[in-house]
């Protein structure tokens, strides 16, 4: 099994390209099941998760093809025919987002049998909101033997429009309901919908495919179902979570890096927080220039649904706060187990105390390199950030977590002066 070895202490300097968004490309690929025409996605990152989802879609009958290299690369999804409407446990269990195929399968074929995705290392993420929404749209649903069996109950074999009131904001459930409603009979209104940039990107792609959607970027979506969707060509937005993690790394190392293809808006709620910590931003024709500081200031924050501070950036920001000059408090309100990286940071000399849903981080002058183990996708990049600024050598095991969401991480960081390598 591969591991990543980092010899810390180098400032990050230079240019670092930001890839297409992982959180957008996965639902965008699933949109391909809604049409018998080709969906072409430009700027898709080469990740373990996109490969896994590609296998799920191929199992259902779609053809997946990669094209191009570098700036012009991407992939196509062509589901001329749905070969089967069952998504197996063997594939769905590898990645929760695979469960989202239930929406397009029901909408296009009138039936679906999809494995429950199971648990998650960072906390419970139940699918009850998905099922409640689909039931409201006329789906008969039975859960048996670890599978969700769903069938449209109308005489036409199609889902029907409905009013869906989510009791809480859910990105995944919003994606699934948008997909399902686009081919449903009648109008669907989704209240308390998610409004993340990835939701907007998927919605715009659906609109280009012929879907009739209003309210993107708001908490209320109005979708008038259409008879058929067409193929289209769509460029994936840049990855705000990747950009945020690298911005934290630059500030932590007192570096100076241009995040090519990014701007301050892409960082969202992270931008003002990094400024409070001492970072400086300058927009350039190529991207966002991030300048670090030798005197990182402590900052308190609370994770919240978008547009609040993203839970996916909580761990990377904690890595930065480990070397701040003072005490910071980081409260996690989205997932109950998203402090699994704390014990690994402690192995590097971080001073962190957990108090319920809040981490009290007392900055130390220096972290010390040590062997550590990645526990989940976002925690893994935190250990990379800590390793970059630690004295001596840090070895990170279980790097398959990194491969799920960070494209060419070692190449990008070594291109900015980091001493980082992958070892088999």
Q: Which residues are catalytic?
A: 120
Asked whether residue 151 is marked as a ligand-binding residue, the answer is: no
Of 165, 167, 138, the C-alpha closest to 150 is 138
Asked whether residue 312 is marked as a ligand-binding residue, the answer is: yes
Of 116, 87, 98, 101, the C-alpha closest to 49 is 98
Query: How far is it, in rounded angstroms, from Cα 323 to Cα 419?
Result: 20
Q: If DSSP codes are grouped into helix, strand and coil, which group holds residue 195?
A: coil
Contact in structure between 406 and 242 (CB atoms under 8 Å) = yes
Query: How far is it, in rounded angstroms, from Cα 113 to Cα 88?
Result: 8
Which residues partner with 141 through β-bridges? 150
Asked whether residue 40 is marked as a ligand-binding residue, the answer is: no
Prior bond of 307 cis (ω within 30°)? yes
Residue with tokens 């280009």, as numbered in its chain = 208
Asked whether residue 145 is marked as a ligand-binding residue, the answer is: no
**Sign (positive/negative) of CA torsion 190, 191, 193, 199?**
positive
Query: How far is it, in rounded angstroms, from Cα 276 to Cα 405?
Result: 27
Of 276, 338, 339, 329, the C-alpha closest to 302 is 329
Q: Tell me 296's DSSP state.
A: P
Could you report how far apart the first and last alpha carbons of the chain are, in Å? 6
Q: Tell me 303's DSSP state.
A: B
Which residues partner with 115 through β-bridges? 147
For β-strands 111-115 and 86-87, DSSP reports them as parallel
Virtual CA dihedral for 230, 234, 240, 241, nearest 10 degrees? 60
Q: H or E segment at 53? A: helix 48-59
Q: Give percent helix, percent strand, percent coil of the chain, each to the nearest 5.
A: 35, 25, 40
Query: How far is it, in rounded angstroms, from Cα 393 to Cα 199?
Result: 40
Secondary structure E strands in 211-268: 212-214, 220-224, 232-235, 256-260
Q: What token pair was written down for 400?
A: 């398959």
Please report, in range form, the residues annotated as the binding site for UDP-N-acetyl-alpha-D-glucosamine.
96, 312, 334
Report the binding-site residues.
Answer: 22-23, 96, 312, 334
């Amino acid at each position: 099994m591969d591991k990543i070895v980092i010899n810390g202490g180098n400032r990050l300097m230079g240019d670092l390209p930001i890839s297409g968004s992982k959180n957008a490309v996965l639902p965008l690929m699933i949109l391909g099941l809604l049409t018998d025409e080709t969906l072409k996605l430009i700027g898709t990152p080469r990740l373990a998760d996109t490969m896994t989802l590609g296998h799920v879609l191929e199992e259902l009958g779609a053809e997946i093809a990669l094209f191009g290299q570098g700036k012009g690369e991407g992939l196509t999804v062509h589901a001329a025919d749905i070969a089967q409407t069952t998504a197996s446990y063997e594939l769905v269990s590898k990645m929760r987002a695979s469960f989202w195929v239930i929406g397009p399968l029901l909408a296009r074929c009138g039936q679906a049998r999809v494995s429950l995705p199971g648990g998650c290392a960072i906390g419970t993420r139940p699918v009850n909101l998905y099922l409640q929404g689909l039931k409201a749209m006329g789906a008969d649903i039975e859960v048996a033997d670890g599978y969700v069996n769903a069938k449209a109950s109308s005489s036409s074999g199609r889902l029907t429009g409905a009013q869906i009131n989510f009791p809480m904001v859910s990105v995944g459930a919003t994606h699934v309901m948008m997909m399902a409603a686009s081919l449903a009979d009648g109008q669907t209104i989704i209240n308390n919908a998610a409004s993340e940039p990835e939701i907007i990107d998927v919605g715009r792609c659906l609109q280009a495919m012929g879907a009739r959607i209003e309210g993107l970027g708001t908490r209320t979506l109005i979708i008038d179902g259409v008879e058929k969707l067409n193929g289209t060509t769509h460029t994936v937005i840049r990855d705000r979570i990747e950009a945020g993690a690298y911005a934290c790394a630059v500030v932590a190392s007192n570096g100076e890096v241009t995040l090519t293809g990014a701007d301050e808006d892409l960082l969202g709620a992270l931008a003002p927080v990094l400024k409070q910590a001492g970072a400086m931003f300058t927009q350039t024709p190529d991207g966002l220039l991030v300048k670090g500081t030798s005197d990182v200031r402590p900052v308190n924050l609370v994770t919240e649904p978008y547009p609040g501070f993203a839970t996916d950036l909580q761990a990377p920001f904690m890595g930065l706060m480990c070397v701040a000059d003072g005490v910071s408090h980081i409260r996690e309100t989205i997932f109950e187990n998203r402090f699994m990286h704390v014990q690994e940071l402690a192995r590097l000399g971080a001073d962190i105390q957990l108090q319920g849903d809040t981490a009290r981080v007392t900055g130390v002058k220096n972290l010390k390199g040590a062997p550590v183990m990645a526990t989940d996708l976002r925690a893994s990049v935190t250990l990379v950030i800590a390793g970059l600024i630690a004295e001596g050598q840090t070895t990170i095991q279980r790097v398959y977590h990194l491969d799920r969401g960070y494209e060419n991480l070692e190449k990008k960081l070594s291109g900015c002066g980091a001493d980082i390598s992958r070892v088999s």
